[in-house]
Structure 1
Amino acid sequence: MVTKYQVKVICGPEVYDKNKKADANSKFRLDSSIEVTHVKVVTEDKSSKLSRIKKFLLMSWRLCKEAKKNIKKGDHVLMVTNPFPLITMMGHLKSHRDFTLSVLVHDIMPESLYTDMHIPGAVYPMVESVFNKAYSSTDLLISIGRDMSEILERKCKRFKHQPRIEVIENWADVINIIPKDREAGNKVVIQYAGNIGNAQGVGEFVDVLHDAGCENIEFSIWGTGGGETGVKEKVAEYGMQNLVTFNGPYFRSQQNDVLNDCDMALVRLVEGMYGLGVPSKSYNILAAGKPILYIGEKGTEIWRMLDENGNGVCFEPNDTDGLRKYLQALDVNSIAKLKEMGQISRRLAEEKYSEEIILKKFVVLV
């Protein structure tokens, strides 16, 4: 963007989770011409819905306050959808100040909130109307998947002003993440790496793995989140400690080693998430040259990508019988086929989803 604009950034703190540390080995660097303003962190209790909502509201207010100070008439503003109340505040600010507003939509609100935080049904229609109006007040909505574009079109269609809706997928880090062979063992290693929350359904996968009685599979979990304790309790209840490993959080600089330490990567979205988000982890899995075991609704962006290219297998969340049979059929003899599928993943990452290719789309559109 610095080749096209004078760039200013308003964002939260570098480390927003008190349980995480800054990555001293991070290779991420900002251009020296970019001016950055950090707003103060808001602490939260992840187990408390009220605490989380308070954090989102306060962070949004702080970010919007800085936006009011910095945004001038004629500016181009690119924002993301987290914290979620910010889009409503920025839509209001845009109505009083003449600037171009583009939104990179990673999560669709309030639908994602209903899935994750379970907004009361009586309140939901009012909240939905507020967010739909905010989306429609923008100039450009950048979705990260074709299914998401469908949802955005539906949300904006009743309003007079219709924003442009374009798809720019997440990118794969093909420079720092390179495929490498894992030391062969006597099990197929399926890995989940990322946030362990309600929408990811890691516990449900453990249920199926238990029902399948698979001694031929090791399930390796990297990451942390609000659902981690529940998954650990489930593993202990099932007596699956020898099949499921918890490796804890990891730094971005460790991704190459982490993502390569498996034969297949799990990407899962619970039912009801159609068009509400695209798991960004999928693209660095492609970079690592791994096939994807995707569990989610048919027609979602990752489903379409895997179906079109043959670099993974897909199951709908309620198809537990099909998933169980697939897992039971996996053994060390399956690894050669998984490697072939992984080669397709890497080729896709290089030819369609590289950082260079994706970022050029932003420069053209915004």
Structure 2
Amino acid sequence: MKDGLKNNFFLITQVFYPDEVSTANLFTNLCSYLVEDNVEVEVWCAQPSYTHFKRQPKKLVYNGIKIHYLPSTNFPKSRLSGRLTNYLTFSISVICKLIFNRDKIPVFTHTTPPSLGIIISFICSLKKRKFVYILLDIFPDGLIRLGNVSKRNLFIRLWKKMNISALKKSEKLIVIGRDMKQWLSSVYPTGLSKTEIIPLWQDDRLINPVQFETNIFIQEHQLQGKFVVQYSGNMGMWNEMKTLGKAISMNTENVFFIFVGGGRRKNELLENFSIDQQKNFLLLPFQSNEKLCDILTACHTSLVSLKEGLEGIAVPSKIYGIMAAGVPVIALVPEQCEIAYIVKEENCGYVVPPNDVNGLIDAILKLKSDEQLRKKMGYNGRRAFEEKYTTRIIAREYKLLIQTLDKK
């Protein structure tokens, strides 16, 4: 990149193409659309280590995106030591390269992994370079709310101070939900004037509604005649999985559950039943992006979950894929979170408290018994998606932000 060029998007992110995890998919997709809209895009990222392990060349152009794979290890993410080593080597590369980089183009980064933004904000402040911070999830506040750490812990207190410092050093803050903006107002109220809400997104060219009866995935697994409830994606730190496991174990008549994905909370899902003996349940690993449309449309309703007390901490991106697929949402989430707001405002499903297994079963049975209601809610979700959450729409918002930064 050269100083002075307009419409430049410079992103530093650990995960990117060719990895096929949520954050990599989101930003690879966004960058591709920005290129189509005449934005010059450059990305610094680590070597792939999540779904792909073949080391990439130092530089690669993909869909017009100029990708720089910084020196880093790419141990499989299945082991904590490997993940930490990958992050440490990537962070060192970012520090060395960014310190000696002479460009003045604003730097965009996000909160995954959580200390990357802190590092970049400090370097940008030293170099008097604009820094835009995209808040995808909030650390260490989320860990505190989960009870995993104490807010009195010296390290946690220092982490919070460094995080607030990064927020203050930013030229712009991007939050992905109204509840996250509310959180921001409680920790950094003066930062609201430089904050924009730009939601997450999904590619409407990748996911479109498909009739259940003709769905290849349904035919492959012989699920015709069953009422299918699906959960697709990460079963991660923020997700409520115990309640979903309890619902499966209740063996509701002619209701079949498909779970596609994995993560650290998968065992919480499985602890309520024996996977070998449970006849109404299918568990599959993460699938490639090529199969995403068939998978997301292979159900009558789809699930999204967020643990109690995590309002403002995270917004699970899977809801946008569900809406794109045109199926009703059952959101097992707190009442005052972005997911709940969307589902209620768009009338595209039901909101159930995270620990309410009976409420979850009731929502499933309501949708099971009323085909017209399912069609209406699925249509409402798809319409709202097309109006607000396609990648093209969100890419325009990012382009406007880029142009605003250029004028300053």
TM-score, structure 1 normalization: 0.86
Q: Contact conserved, 1:42 with 1:59, CA < 8 A, in 2?
A: no
For residues 52 and 33 of structure 1, do their structure 2 counterparts lie closer, same or farther at Cα, with a shift above 3 Å needed? closer
Q: Which position in structure 2 is the counterpart of 1:156?
A: 188
Residue 134 of structure 1: CA displacement?
1.2
Aligned twin of 1:26 = none
Question: Match of 1:169, SS?
Answer: coil
Provide the rounded CA distance (Å) in 2 between the counterparts of 1:67 and 1:355. 28
User: Residues of 2 paired with 1:339 and 1:139: CA distance?
Assistant: 44
Q: Which amino acid aligns with 2:152?
A: A
How much has 1:174 moved relative to structure 2? Answer: 1.1
Asked if the contact 2:53–2:74 (Cα under 8 Å) also holds between the matched residues in 1, the reply is no
Name the counterpart of 2:116. 86
1:293 is matched with 330
1:236-266 CA distance string (max 9 Å, x none): 17x7621111021101121111101011110
Matched letter for residue 342 of structure 2: M
Query: What is aligned with 1:263?
Result: 300
For structure 2, which runs of at least 5 residues remain unmatched after alignment? 1-8, 10-34, 55-60, 214-222, 403-408
Partner of 2:49 in structure 1?
Answer: 16
Aligned to 1:104: 134
Give the secondary structure class of the aligned counterpart of 1:34: strand
What does the per-residue CA deviation read over 1:176-217, in whole Å, with 9 as the maximum and x for residues that have no partner? 211011128333211000012232122321113434x41231
After alignment, is 115-124 or 290-299 more displaced? Answer: 115-124
Q: Aligned pairs, how many? A: 351
Partner of 1:198, secondary structure, is coil
Shift of 1:169: 1.0
Give, in angstroms, the shift of residue 140 of structure 1.
Answer: 0.5
Please show how residues 262-281 of structure 1 align to structure 2 within 5 Å: 262-281=299-318
Residue identity in the other structure for 1:235 = F
The SS at the match of 2:370 is helix
Aligned partners of 2:187 and 2:76: how far apart in 1? 31
**How far is 1:47 from its partner?**
6.3
Question: Bigger CA drift: 146-155 or 255-264?
Answer: 146-155
Matched to 1:152, the amino acid is L
> Is contact 1:296–1:316 with CA below 8 Å preserved after alignment?
yes
Deviations 1:11-46 (A, max 9, x none): 122x322x6578xxxxxx834363533442343664
1:128 and 2:160 are equivalent in the alignment: yes
Is the CA contact 2:238–2:314 (under 8 Å) kept in the aligned structure 1? no
Equivalent position of 1:196 in the other structure:
235
Segments of 5+ residues of structure 1 without an aligned counterpart are 23-28
Counterpart residue type for residue 287 of structure 1: A
Q: Are residues 1:67 and 2:98 paired?
A: yes
Query: Over aligned residue pairs, what C-alpha RMSD do you find?
Result: 2.7
Contact 2:248–2:280 (CA<8 Å) still a contact in 1?
no
Matched, 1:351 2:387: yes
Q: CA deviation at 1:92?
A: 1.2
Query: Aligned runs of 1:1-366 on 2, under 5 Å?
Result: 1=9, 6-13=40-47, 15-17=48-50, 20=52, 30-32=62-64, 34-43=66-75, 46=78, 48=80, 52=83, 55-70=86-101, 72=103, 74-114=104-144, 118-123=148-153, 124-157=156-189, 164-183=194-213, 185-211=224-250, 213-236=251-274, 241-331=278-368, 333-366=369-402
Q: Is the 8 A contact 2:70 2:90 kept in 1?
A: no
Amino acid across the alignment from 1:267 = V
Q: Is the 8 A contact 2:347 2:380 kept in 1?
A: yes
Contact 2:324-2:381 at 8 Å conserved across structures: yes
1:318-354 C-alpha deviation (Å, 9 max, x unpaired):
33442233335553x3333212211111111112211
Note closer, same or farther for the CA distance 1:113–1:60 as it changes in structure 2 (3 Å cut). Answer: farther
Shift in CA distance, 214/93, structure 1 to aligned 2, threshold 3 Å: same
CA contact (8 A) 1:215 1:243 kept: no
Aligned residues of 1:263 and 1:335 also touching (Cα < 8 A) = no
2: CA distance between counterparts of 1:325 and 1:261? Answer: 21
Determine the C-alpha separation between the residues in 2 that align with 1:68 and 1:253.
39
Letter of the aligned partner of 2:263 in structure 1? G
Q: 2:231 touches 2:258 (CA, 8 Å); kept in 1?
A: yes
After TM superposition, the structure 1 stretch with the greater mean CA deviation from structure 2, 50-59 or 317-326, is 50-59
Structure 2 Cα separation of the partners of residues 35 and 327 of structure 1 = 44
Residues 145-192 of structure 1 show CA distances to partners (whole Å, capped at 9, x for unaligned) of 1111111232223x7x77611011112211121101112833321100
Counterpart AA for 1:66: K
1:25 corresponding residue in structure 2: none
TM-score by length of 2: 0.78
Of all paired residues, the percent bearing the same amino acid is: 25
